Amino acid sequence: MIRSTTMMPALLVPANDFTAQWRAIRDEALAAIDRVGERGWLVLGSEVKAFEEELAAWHGLPASVGTGNGLDALEIALRCHGVGPGDVVLTTPLTAFATTLAILRVGARPAFVDVDSAGLLDLDLVESALRSGTAAIKAVVPVHLFGHAMDVPRLRDLAQRYRVAMIEDCAQAIGARFDGQPVGSASRASATSFYPTKNLGCLGDGGAVFVADEETRARAATLRDYGQTAKYVHDIPGLNSRLDEVQAAVLRSALLPRLSAFTARRRQIAETYRAQIRHPAVRVPPVPAKSESVWHLFPVQLQVAARRDDFQAHLRNHGVASGVHYPVLTSSQRAAGHDVQRLTPLPRAEEFAQTEVSLPIHPFLDEEGVARVVAAVNTFEQR
Ligand SMILES: *Cc1c(COP(=O)(O)O)cnc(C)c1O
């Protein structure tokens, strides 16, 4: 039976507005698709090559390699660093499952430490784990969660000092910088995603590996294309994970040119929320000090976990969509396997899992919508 939606008021403030985005990009997007169609070259052609260069230049890194999605980009980045079967990879339990899944897919074993008060991998705990040496950690996968930039210079320093591979997950943080340094710049290969909800979302699936040098670029390009080093020459078993020409064309003609403006709007909305959300039961988590965040998500935390459902229902009754990032830690998912290692207890990550609510934040959210969200939050009934 199809559930009736008549009881639900229409959402005046959705979590995303892809129709509004389409109307904004339509002319350039249609022209881009037409360009590809007329050229008649649909896979790994000039659009992908040009987009890879333009993306890297916009983000502030040497080069990038387009992939089919963010999960594959992470897998390819891990393999570029030589991470493989049996290796232990330290990561955060508070992230999209794809972060952990990429580690599993290369045959490695995920290991976890807790997050900090902002919800990001706690680098003091990472450093203790690396220093003790007991877990034989081969690589670290930090996630620039919520669009915040983690401490990039410290990530670079940890990688060098403890001789571990550093593979940043930049899926939520394209364009974010820490003290001027772009996320991804602590890694020889890092990964991002163009899944539609992401800050640079395409019209379907897409992703990219950011690379620091030509050798790594060539390796990633080989891995995404069946492991081919030359036509019909396969020296390593690769993936089929190519960014389509159509997606690349739309990204470079219609979306990447708007990303600075989109990001500015997200930052404005975040400023307003941070200034105007005032409720004793709702806490806004801190932002890492030198993070120039791109606000993929706007997280708040309920003081009392048991009230989260009430809070989300209250928002919904005021026409405001909300989400939870993430209700279950990746370390607790059955697919993570039974030999996951928790190198520390995970109380802060558990607290986020139980209390976090994400408010709408996207480039097509107007002032009226922002005011509606603030009013809805601030009128949540106190108990
Ligand atoms: C979205 C996301 C991914 C995966 O990207 P896909 O393109 O959906 O495969 C990986 N890591 C994080 C943190 C994400 O948010």
The string of pLDDT tens digits covering residues 59-74 is: 999 999 999 999 999 9
pLDDT at residue 153, rounded to an integer = 98
pLDDT digits (tens, 9 = 90+) for 108-150: 999 999 999 999 999 999 999 999 998 899 999 999 999 999 9
- Give CA–CA dist 56/235, Å, rounded: 27
Burial of 189 (0-12, 13-18, 19+ CB in 10 A): buried
pLDDT at residue 349, rounded to an integer = 98
Report the separation in Å between the CA atom of 201 and the middle of ligand 1, taken as the mean of its atom positions.
11
Banded pLDDT at 9 (limits 50, 70, 90): low
- Give CA–CA dist 139/163, Å, rounded: 9
pLDDT at residue 236, rounded to an integer = 92
pLDDT > 70: percent of the chain: 97
SS3 256: helix
Contact 352, 305 (CB under 8 A): no
Report the separation in Å between the CA atom of 7 and the middle of ligand 1, taken as the mean of its atom positions.
33
Q: Which atom of ligand 1 is nearest to the CA of 71?
A: 9
Report the separation in Å between the CA atom of 98 and the middle of ligand 1, taken as the mean of its atom positions.
6
pLDDT at residue 8, rounded to an integer = 58
Q: Is the pTM above the cut of 0.85? A: yes
pLDDT digits (tens, 9 = 90+) for 355-380: 999 999 999 999 999 999 999 999 99
pLDDT at residue 1, rounded to an integer = 43
> Which residue, 368, 361, 372, 362, is CA-closest to 314?
372
**pLDDT higher than threshold 70 for residue 202:** yes
- Mutate which of 195, 244, 247 to test ligand 1's pocket (most atoms within 8 Å of Cβ)? 195
Per DSSP bridges, beta strands 165-166 and 177-178 are: unpaired
- Mutate which of 146, 172, 247 to test ligand 1's pocket (most atoms within 8 Å of Cβ)? 172
Average pLDDT, the chain: 96
pLDDT at residue 287, rounded to an integer = 96
Structure tokens at 321: 């969509």
Q: Which atom of ligand 1 is nearest to the CA of 74?
A: 10
> Which residue, 145, 129, 178, 168, is CA-closest to 292?
178
Name the strands in the sheet holding 207-211, side by side, starting at the edge strand that comes first in the sequence. Answer: 63-67, 207-211, 189-193
Contact 279, 304 (CB under 8 A): no
- Mutate which of 72, 76, 99 to test ligand 1's pocket (most atoms within 8 Å of Cβ)? 99
Q: Residue 24 CB: number of other CB atoms within 10 A?
A: 17
Residues with CB under 6 A from ligand 1: 69-71, 95-96, 98-99, 143, 169, 171-172, 193, 195, 205, 207
**pLDDT higher than threshold 90 for residue 383:** no
Burial of 333 (0-12, 13-18, 19+ CB in 10 A): middle
In order of 24, 25, 294, 295, the CA distances from 363 in angstroms are 11, 13, 11, 11
Banded pLDDT at 339 (limits 50, 70, 90): confident
For the chain, report the end-to-end CA distance as a whole number of angstroms. Answer: 37
**pLDDT higher than threshold 50 for residue 4:** no
Distance of CA 363 to the CA centre of its chain: 17
pLDDT digits (tens, 9 = 90+) for 137-187: 999 999 999 999 999 999 999 999 999 999 999 999 999 999 999 999 999
Report the separation in Å between the CA atom of 4 and the middle of ligand 1, taken as the mean of its atom positions.
32
What sign does the CA torsion over 338, 339, 340, 346 have? positive
pLDDT at residue 204, rounded to an integer = 98
Q: Which atom of ligand 1 is nearest to the CA of 207?
A: 7
What does DSSP assign to residue 13? B
- Give CA–CA dist 78/191, Å, rounded: 9
Q: Which atom of ligand 1 is nearest to the CA of 206?
A: 7
